[in-house]
Structure 1
């Protein structure tokens, strides 16, 4: 961790767009399994599969460690502060402040990811002072491309990020939302 990276608050709760984004707790472990033990989550994200109780517990512990290091925030997407419907992520990285998300299969098609990304972007702009947030998506992931477009992101003309995850090659496009675009 860079010595210039400030830690994130121990507790975070963000509201807006009809959502409450809140910290994960031990009480959420079983619900995390229902949200993330899904073929789409397994295919499009780096989350482990199968996503069982051990995976949920490891993710919660890693979330707390990365938050303390000042690198990543993982928040449960809820409508009322209670039942998690998915997750939104903010990650400080050399290439920029990256956002990410996953919505449980039973909760897709309700605009949760779009709204959660907008709330997290507002947090990054207003509380962290960043000028740009990015999404890194595979062009073939039509649902995520739709989220990026609906949330106001623009596709950048930069090289693809290529790699391999879980034995499958990927090529990520970089999408960006600038503070000036939101404020203007």
Structure 2
């Protein structure tokens, strides 16, 4: 993908799996800290912590900038197009087309992450024509490993990704799902 021309439409709304994945809006700013300002999100994701009003506005702007660059889409996970319950990401990078997600603590246990991952994977396969989507996650993140297995991803035989985020070292496994 070219970094000068977005391959994503200006607006995206994906429906299926009992979900509506939609663009973040200014109306979501007040709800975002309740979704993202949590120790689990701080530990397992690169989302800034603590996550308050300023971080919410910065995330909304970043979502718009990444979309304009044509590299990444960040969508609110909703059941009806209304209140956001979490976020799902699709990032097109040289190492692969990656999906990521975060579900607000009050909304866990409803299968939202797995359903959002399946819906985003279908978008990547059908609309972007990719052959494989990946998840990069830590083996110790039992919830994400459960989402990966529940959605049909398989652990790939590729090198681990080692790094540091927020002063904490991490080792990521790469899981893949091939186009049906």
| TM-based fold match above 0.5 | yes
Match of 2:134 in 1: 134
Match of 1:54 in 2: 54
Q: Give, in angstroms, the shift of residue 2 of structure 1.
A: 3.4
Match of 1:89 in 2: 89
Match of 1:159 in 2: 159
Aligned length: 180
Offset from partner CA, 1:121-164 (integer Å, 9 cap, x none): 00000000000000000000000000000011000011100000
Within 1, Cα distance between the matches of 2:58 and 2:92?
21
Cα distance 1:74–1:3, how it changes in 2: closer, same or farther (>3 A)?
Answer: closer
SS in 2 for 1:120: helix
Match of 1:68 in 2: 68
SS in 2 for 1:99: strand
Within 1, Cα distance between the matches of 2:133 and 2:149?
14
Q: Give, in angstroms, the shift of residue 4 of structure 1.
A: 8.1
CA RMSD of aligned residues (A): 1.2
Do the aligned residues in 1 keep the contact of 2:98 with 2:136 (CA within 8 Å)? Answer: yes
Do the aligned residues in 1 keep the contact of 2:21 with 2:116 (CA within 8 Å)? Answer: yes
Match of 2:177 in 1: 177
SS in 1 for 2:10: coil
Offset from partner CA, 1:58-90 (integer Å, 9 cap, x none): 000010010011000000000010010000000
Structure 2: runs of 5+ lacking an equivalent:
none
Match of 1:150 in 2: 150
Q: Does 1:41 align with 2:41?
A: yes
Within 1, Cα distance between the matches of 2:24 and 2:83?
10
Do the aligned residues in 1 keep the contact of 2:4 with 2:70 (CA within 8 Å)? Answer: no
Q: Give, in angstroms, the shift of residue 31 of structure 1.
A: 0.5
Within 2, Cα distance between the matches of 1:34 and 1:14?
23
Match of 2:106 in 1: 106
Structure 1: runs of 5+ lacking an equivalent:
none
Within 2, Cα distance between the matches of 1:18 and 1:115?
8
Match of 2:116 in 1: 116
Cα distance 1:3–1:57, how it changes in 2: closer, same or farther (>3 A)?
Answer: closer
Cα distance 1:167–1:121, how it changes in 2: closer, same or farther (>3 A)?
Answer: same
Q: With the length of structure 2 as denominator, give the TM-score of the two structures.
A: 0.97
Runs of at least 4 residues off by over 3 Å: 1-6
Within 2, Cα distance between the matches of 1:171 and 1:65?
28
